[in-house]
Amino acid sequence: MNDPLYDRLRELGWRRELTPREEAEVRAWLAAHPEMRADWEAEAALNQALERLPDAPVPSNFTAQVLSRIDGMKPETAGSSGRGLEWGWLWHSLLPKAAVAAVALVVGLFSYEEHRSVQRAELARNVAVISGFAATQNPEVLKDFDAIRRLGQTAPADEELLALLK
């Protein structure tokens, strides 16, 4: 049941004994909700039984033990149960790093594929331009291609001639 008044009174019963005013509220609420009487009585009996239990003795180094376990479960202080927690620490520390590495790898692969597809598209455009040019031109133009290509190149310097001019 999700009644805020009932929940508040139940939690107060866990922490301390109810005041006469709060007990009157409980009686009024139980009169309006008789189906919850057994639940309330069981809760009250449990609270009374817990009150009768003696306090557990706390060792003098309790705080130091808790802090050492919080600080990382060092194998020399943790005992045999430290192995499981050590693996848990390893898992929790490496999992985010592995996830970042996986994301970086996937982004890198997608970038590389995009780069390759751009290069292929550029090559296809160049082939289309050249094939279109070759289809419209006369093959006679290309017969002197080697001579035309050599025009842009410079001959190596003649060392003997340079020596004579000095």
Evaluate whether residue 13 is within a structural domain: yes
Determine contact, residues 65/45, Cβ cutoff 8 Å: no
* Res 30: pLDDT: 87
Mean pLDDT by 10 residues, the chain (166 residues): 81 86 89 88 87 84 86 56 62 85 96 95 90 73 75 81 86
Evaluate whether residue 43 is within a structural domain: yes
Q: How many domains does the chain have?
A: 2
Evaluate whether residue 73 is within a structural domain: no
Distance CA 141, CA 154 (A): 23
Where in the sequence is the domain holding 148, given as residue range(s)? Answer: 89-157
- Sequence-separated contacts (24+) of 88-93 with Cβ below 8 Å: none
Q: Are residues 95 and 150 in the same domain?
A: yes
Determine contact, residues 47/10, Cβ cutoff 8 Å: no
* Res 142: pLDDT: 67
Please report the sign of the dihedral spanned by the C-alpha atoms of residue 4, residue 10, residue 11, residue 17: positive
Q: Are residues 45 and 94 in the same domain?
A: no
Q: Are residues 48 and 93 in the same domain?
A: no
